[in-house]
Amino acid sequence: MKTVICPGSFDPVTKGHMDIIERASRLFDKVVVAVLNNSSKNPCFTIEERIGLLKETTTHLKNVEIETFDGLLVDFAKIKGASAVVKGLRAVTDFEYEFQMSMINKKLCPEVETIFLNTSQEYMYLSSSVVKQIAAAGGDISLFVPEEIRDKIVDRLLNM
Ligand code: ADP
> What pLDDT is stored for residue 26 in this prediction?
98
Q: How far is the CA of 36 from the centre of ligand 1 (A)?
A: 12
pLDDT tens, position by position, 52-96: 999 999 999 999 999 999 999 999 999 999 999 999 999 877 899
Q: Which of 41, 60, 62, 107 is catalytic?
A: 41
Ordered DSSP codes for the chain: --EEEEEE--TT--HHHHHHHHHHHHHSSEEEEEEE--GGG--SS-HHHHHHHHHHHTTT-TTEEEEEE-S-HHHHHHHTT-SEEEEEE-SHHHHHHHHHHHHHHHHH-TTSEEEEEEPPGGGTT--HHHHHHHHHTT---TTTS-HHHHHHHHHHHHT-
Predicted confidence (pLDDT) at residue 159 exceeds the cutoff of 90? no
Best residue for ligand 1 mutational test, from 17, 134, 144 (most atoms within 8 Å of Cβ): 17
pLDDT tens, position by position, 86-134: 999 998 778 999 999 999 999 999 999 999 999 999 999 999 999 999 9
Residue 90 annotated in active site? yes
pLDDT tens, position by position, 4-55: 999 999 999 999 999 999 999 999 999 999 999 986 778 999 999 999 999 9
Predicted structure pTM score: 0.95
Q: Do the Cβ atoms of 74 and 109 come closer than 8 Å?
A: yes
> What pLDDT is stored for residue 40 in this prediction?
73
Q: Do the Cβ atoms of 20 and 102 come closer than 8 Å?
A: no
Phi, psi dihedrals of residue 33, rounded to the nearest 5°: -85, 120
> What pLDDT is stored for residue 41 in this prediction?
75
- Structural domains of the chain in order of their starting residue, each with its CATH number: 3-124 (3.40.50.620)
